[in-house]
Amino acid sequence: MHERKLWIPYVLLLLVSIGFLWWYPLQVFQAIWGFSLSQGEFVGSNGQSQIFAFSIIGGIISLVLMTYWILRQEEKKVKYFPIALAVAYICTISITMWYEQVYANLWDYANHTMYWYNFYTNPPKLLQVIIDMSLLLAAYPWMSRANLKFVLWFTALIAVFFLLWYATGLGFPTTSSFAYFLNGASRISSQLGVAVTVTPSRLRRQEKLSPLT
């Protein structure tokens, strides 16, 4: 890895994650304390929001795969582990915010509500959303054009899950097993979609995108 590539995720971690990514682990930890069986589903609740088991599973999958694949690109050199883990952590949270924006808008459209507008459009929250979503660029030095087809496949798969979910009423996961499956499948697919952006490729030396300047 070139030194410039090393500093991109490192600086992002120091300057952005502490200030803008605090909400994700806090929400997860608060929800874990309230884990219980609810209507036959494994649900965590902190009294304000619910986090389902598949959300945590998807995050773990993304974190592990991205860390491993970045290390593979760096020939498994242990010294790159903190950077690989930091990038995986940042991108796992970032793709979660992307997912939430799609889900919230579909929910409003299906239920004729104003949740997204009321919750996300105030200036501080909107700034947080923009920054969180832009943090996918933390993985840019390891992204490859050769992986674009895999990203498109997962994007299409997510769209199918959302369309099926919407067509069946976009019910909350606890309302039916099918709604639970579609929510979980779409969320885990989104985490896999971001993970495959850094999958090692035989052609990555020739096709890798130029680093940010």
109-141 pLDDT, tens per residue?
Answer: 988 899 898 888 888 889 888 988 988 988 988
Residue 212 placed within a domain: no
Local confidence band at 158 (pLDDT 50, 70, 90 cut-offs):
very high
Q: Which of 19-23, 118-122, 175-179, 182-186 has the lowest mean pLDDT?
A: 19-23
Beta-carbon contacts of residue 168 (< 8 Å; ≥ 6 apart): 178, 179, 182
Q: If you average pLDDT over residues 92-103, what whole number do you get?
A: 93
Q: Which residues of 73-96 are buried (b: 16+ CB within 10 A; e: fewer)?
A: bbeeeeebeebbbbbbbbbbbbbb
Residue 50 placed within a domain: yes
pLDDT surpassing 80 at residue 104: yes
pLDDT surpassing 90 at residue 191: yes
Local confidence band at 45 (pLDDT 50, 70, 90 cut-offs):
low
Q: What angle do CA 9, 15, 17 make, to 5 degrees?
A: 75
Query: Two tokens at 87?
Result: 């990038």
Q: If you average pLDDT over residues 41-54, what whole number do you get?
A: 68
Residue 149 placed within a domain: yes
122: containing domain: 3-207
Q: 38 — phi, psi (to 5°)?
A: -130, 115
Q: 21 — phi, psi (to 5°)?
A: -110, 10
Q: If you average pLDDT over residues 149-176, what whole number do you get?
A: 93
> Between 156 and 40, whose confidence is greater?
156
pLDDT recorded at residue 2? 54
pLDDT recorded at residue 42? 57
Structural domain total, the chain: 1
pLDDT recorded at residue 209? 47
Radius of gyration of the chain (CA): 18
Helix axes 123-134, 81-111, angle to 10 degrees: 130
Local confidence band at 51 (pLDDT 50, 70, 90 cut-offs):
confident
Residue 213 placed within a domain: no
pLDDT recorded at residue 34? 65
Q: If you average pLDDT over residues 48-63, what whole number do you get?
A: 85
pLDDT surpassing 80 at residue 23: no
Is 194 within 8 Å of 92 (Cβ atoms)?
yes
Residue 133 placed within a domain: yes
